[in-house]
A and B are shown apart, each in its own frame.
Chain A
Amino acid sequence: MSASTPAGRKQIHLAAHFPGVNSTTVWRDPDSRSQIDFSSFQHLARTAERGRFDFFFLAEGLRLRERKGRIHDLDVVGRPESLTVLNALAAVTEHLGLAATVNATFNEPFELARRFASLDHLSGGRAAWNIVTSSDAFTGENFRRGGYLDRADRYTRAAEFVEVARALWDSWPSGGTPRTVRHSGPHFDITARATLPHSPQVHPVLIQAGDSDEGREFAARTADIVFSRHGTLEAGRAFHADVKGRLARYGRTPDQLKIMPAATVVLGDSEADAQERAAHIRRQQVSPQTAIATLENVWGRDLTGYDPDGPLPDVEPVPDGELAQGWAHMSDRFGIAARWRALAEEKHLSIRELAIELTARQSFIGTPGSVAAAMDEHVRTDAADGFILVPHLTPGGLDEFVDQVVPLLQERGVLRTEYQGATLRDHLGLGRPEPRPEESA
Chain B
Amino acid sequence: MTRELHLSVALGSAGPRPAAHWTGLVQLAELGALDFVTLDDSLDPADGDGRLDAVAVLAHAAARTSRIGLIPTVTTTHTEPFHTSTALATLDFVSEGRAGWLVDVSITEEAARATGRRDPAPAPELWAEASDAAEVAARLWDSWEDDAEIRDAATGRFIDRDRLHYADFEGPRFSVRGPSIVPRPPQGRPPVAVVLDAQEIDIRWELAARHAEIVLLDADSPAAAREARTELRRRAGRDDLRVLVRVGLAPHAGPPLTGGLDALPDLLAEWHAEAGTDGFHLVTTTPTEELPAVIHDVVPALRAGGLFRATHTGRTLRDHLGLARPDSRYAVRTEAAL
Closest to A190 in B: B116
Q: How large is the interface on B (under 10, 10 to 19, 20 to 34, 35 or more residues)?
A: 35 or more
Q: Is the CB of A108 within 8 A of B93?
A: no
At the interface, yes or no: B295 with Cβ under 8 Å from chain A?
A: no
B56 and A85 within 8 A (CB)? no
Contact for B182 among A81, A121, A197, CB less than 8 A: A81
CB nearest neighbor in A for B58:
A87
Q: Which residues of B contact A195 (CB under 8 A)?
A: 43-46, 50-51
Chain B residues with CB below 8 A from A142, complex form: 82, 176-178
Q: How far is the CB of A72 from chain B (nearest CB, A)?
A: 8
If over half of A's interface residues share one DSSP class (helix, strand or loop), that class is named, otherwise mixed; here it is loop
B93 touches A80 (CB 8 A): yes
- Asked whether A91 and B60 contact (CB < 8 A) given A74-B156, A78-B144, A195-B50, the answer is yes
Query: Interface code A186-200, partner B: CB below 8 Å = 1, 0 otherwise?
Result: 001111111111000
Rounded to whole angstroms, the CA-CA distance of A83 and B96 in the bound complex is 17
List B contacts of A42 (CB < 8 A).
63
A111 CB–B CB distance under 8 Å: yes
Asked if B8 is at the interface of the complex by the 8 Å CB criterion, the answer is no
Whether the Cβ atoms of A118 and B53 lie closer than 8 Å is yes
Interface size band for A: 35 or more
Instruction: Flag if A61 contacts B181 (CB, 8 Å).
Output: yes
Query: Taking the nearest CB of chain A, how far is it from the CB of B309, in angstroms?
Result: 26
Type the 1/0 row for B130-170, where 1 means its CB is closer than 8 Å to any CB of A.
00000000000000100001010101111111001000000
What is the bound-complex CA distance between A70 and B149, given in angstroms?
Answer: 16
Take A192-B114, A197-B50 as given contacts and tell me if A92 and B45 are in contact as well, using a CB distance cutoff of 8 Å. no
Alpha-carbon distance A185/B151, docked complex (angstroms): 48
Task: Give the contacting residue for B90; candidates A71, A85, A172, A188; CB below 8 A.
Answer: A85
Q: How far is the CB of B105 from chain A (nearest CB, A)?
A: 15
Could you say which residues of chain B place their CB within 8 Å of the CB of A83?
Answer: 56, 87
Residues of A contacting B5 in the complex (Cβ-Cβ under 8 angstroms): none
A172 and B158 CA atoms in complex are apart in Å by 47
Cβ of A27 and Cβ of B181 under 8 Å apart?
A: no
Chain A residues in 8 Å Cβ range of B19: 90-91, 121-124
Known: A142-B176, A195-B50. 20 other contacts (CB 8 A): A64-B179, A78-B159, A78-B182, A80-B86, A87-B57, A89-B63, A90-B60, A106-B80, A108-B78, A110-B43, A110-B114, A118-B52, A121-B52, A144-B173, A190-B114, A190-B116, A194-B45, A195-B44, A196-B50, A289-B156
A to B CB contacts below 8 Å, 26 in the list: A28-B153, A36-B182, A38-B93, A64-B181, A71-B179, A73-B157, A80-B90, A81-B86, A81-B90, A84-B55, A85-B94, A87-B56, A89-B63, A90-B60, A91-B60, A111-B43, A118-B57, A119-B56, A123-B19, A141-B175, A141-B176, A144-B81, A195-B46, A196-B50, A197-B49, A290-B156
Interface residues of B (CB under 8 A from A): 16, 18-19, 23, 43-46, 49-53, 55-57, 59-64, 78-83, 86-87, 89-91, 93-94, 96, 110, 113-117, 144, 149, 151, 153, 155-161, 164, 173-179, 181-183
